[in-house]
Amino acid sequence: MQAQALTFQSLIDEAIADAPALSLALFNGLSDELKSRPQYHMLLEAWNRRRVDFSASLESALGQALAAAREGRDPLGKDRPRDADSLSLVDERQALQDVGIAHVIATIEDQSRAELHQLGNFFAALRGIARPLKSDNPLRAALYAHALNQAVQQQPLDADGRYALMRAAADPLARHLHEFYSLLCRRLREAKLSEMVASHGAGERASDLRQRQFKALSLQDGRATLDHLAQRVEDVNSRPQRLGQAEPPPRMGPASALGAPGADLLSRLYDQILADPTLLPPLKAVLARLQVAIVRLSRQDVSLLRRQDHPTWQLLNRVAAHGAGFARADDPDLREFLQALERQIQPLLETAQPSAAMFQTASAEVEHFIREQALRRSRSSASSLASLEREQHRDSWRRLLREQLQAQLDEAGAGQLLRDFLLGPWTEVITQTMVKEGRDSAQAQRAVDLVDRLLASVQPPRDAAALKALRVQLPGLVQALEQGMADIQLPADKRQAFMAELMAMHGRVLRGLPAQPDGRHEAVHAAAPSPEDLLQQLLSERESQLPSRWAHERVDRGVLPTVPLGLYQQHDSAEARKAMADWLNQLQIGAWFHLFVQGEWRTAQIAWISESRQLFLFVGQDAQERHSLTRGALEQLLVNGLIAHLEEEDLVQRAMGSLLQDLDDQA
């Protein structure tokens, strides 16, 4: 490729051309990993059976993603239109899959961090984007991790086997991509684009400021204190000026109960708060207006700069954390929030002597509004959420139905064919209808009533009128049975076998004969189930109640790749279990999070929590992006560092970190 021909499309074309080589390198590297590492030997048999399909699946997934990138679409499909009512369920299996994708992404980025940085700046410069993000690079690590995941999902393995295969493939994939990314960066140098890339990435970014904050806070064991900050400000203000150094500008402001040093600290701290890069401009404007009320409060409340849990700071932190969940200043929900915030701070601005209690009241009202707004965001998914919550009752409803049907069939003396059908497939039909439509819904009642209709249909008619009525009813009965079996996706061979026997029984009944060909009445069921029948029924019930062991078992955290969060890693200890339970139990509607779900980092808000606290609805910055996570899925994300509360590092702490770093720079 000629240097002068370097374009967005030409780099994508290089990636497309590299796909077969990548597939071959990964195929060979993965085979070597599985053979050389004892922990992967259990995967060899399944790998050897389907390894030929792996390369084709990987190339197909890469081809589709890269073709989308070349056309200017997002290669991961995030720009596809979504149904506003759609709702995805993330359970423990999906969370484990996300952990695998995150591990592959981290492995690739660790080996090619500098190259990915250059490529990201290049693609951002081509698009005229001022602040490059990972998503600006169509050849980012996530594209290859997702393609690998699609290929792995085709392998005949269970969830833990696929996860292990993802982990085994991470290093070979990262090695090949490091060579490929290095090649692309050489193309940039040959095209003399290095200066453009470097200048586009120049300047202090939000991430640079964050590093300065972290550096300052790390000197204070990760958390600055107001007392320490006040002392540092006083030290700097009292330090003799060096020769030729300009005097710092005097801080103008009213005298306060805090004294001159305290007033100076408050002014400096608020300057850092308003300079926080995570705050959107309209939010900064509101907080700037609130500064007047805070200064007035400082005249009489000496605890303002002594208590970090002061209602004033709590209000600022909550407002900033909620505002950080919005990506655009023109977001309608953000505008609505700002209007509500203006109403709450107006009394504070109009009062000559505001009190801490007034700030506490304003904070409570803001919290109430955030919760109500979040609940409104969940309303479009109300039916799906209700179905998900009813899903938790599936097993208990199934057991209760079987008990009731068993008693009814014993009383009716039903034959074995109908017993097997009603206690098996049709119980599933009723249960599925209850979960989908509601336990007391008309649809569920019709499914229950069909039991009586079916039992009556194999009884000999009493007279000609009853025979005529049966002929009229049978087509509707058969249609309802067919529909119910289709709803639970009963295999076609089982469906056809049952319907063939039932039609034969109905044929005999319509001819005035007993339902059974040997002359015995279908309603006569003298023989008790054999021990073998009882055992088979028990096994069938157990299998239906435990559809997947991954829905109930905990993952071995020792084999998970990402960095654990302290105590949560020790999942077998009582302290870890308590810490995890406490974290999950304190989750509240309205809180915003960064979380890695369905293969992508997302910013989302809790908009609904089930009564049992086993299901949580997260609504993204785009209100059409909705994810329902089980409690078990959240546990996996928490343990692996794939979820972070936006309030865990609050606005005031960030401002204190920045101020500390500025004071260090002046020393």
Confidence (pLDDT) at 570:
55
| Backbone φ, ψ for residue 354 (5° rounding) | -65, 155
The string of pLDDT tens digits covering residues 468-502 is 898 999 999 999 999 999 988 888 888 888 999 89
Max alpha carbon distance in the chain (Å)?
A: 119
Strand duo 88-90 + 626-630: pairing:
parallel
Burial of 502 (0-12, 13-18, 19+ CB in 10 A): buried
Point out which residues pair with 89 in neighbouring strands: 628
Structure tokens at 481: 């049975």
Its pTM stands at 0.60
Cα–Cα distance for residue pair 278/281, rounded to 1 Å:
9
Contacts of 584 (CB under 8 A, 6+ apart): 613, 631, 634, 635, 638
Structure tokens at 575: 């302290």
Confidence (pLDDT) at 631:
87
Helices (H), 488-573: 492-510, 531-545
Residue 186 burial (CB count, 10 A): 11
Beta strands in 506-630 (DSSP E): 592-597, 600-609, 615-620, 626-630
Structural domains of the chain ordered from first start: 3-200 (no CATH), 206-235+257-354+652-666 (no CATH), 397-550 (no CATH), 557-648 (2.30.30.140)
Say if residues 301 and 630 touch (Cβ distance below 8 Å): no
Confidence (pLDDT) at 175:
95
Low-confidence ranges of the chain (pLDDT < 70): 1-5, 78-88, 127-134, 192-262, 517-572, 647-649, 664-667
Sign of the Cα pseudo-torsion (339, 345, 349, 350, in order): positive
The string of pLDDT tens digits covering residues 436-447 is 888 888 999 999
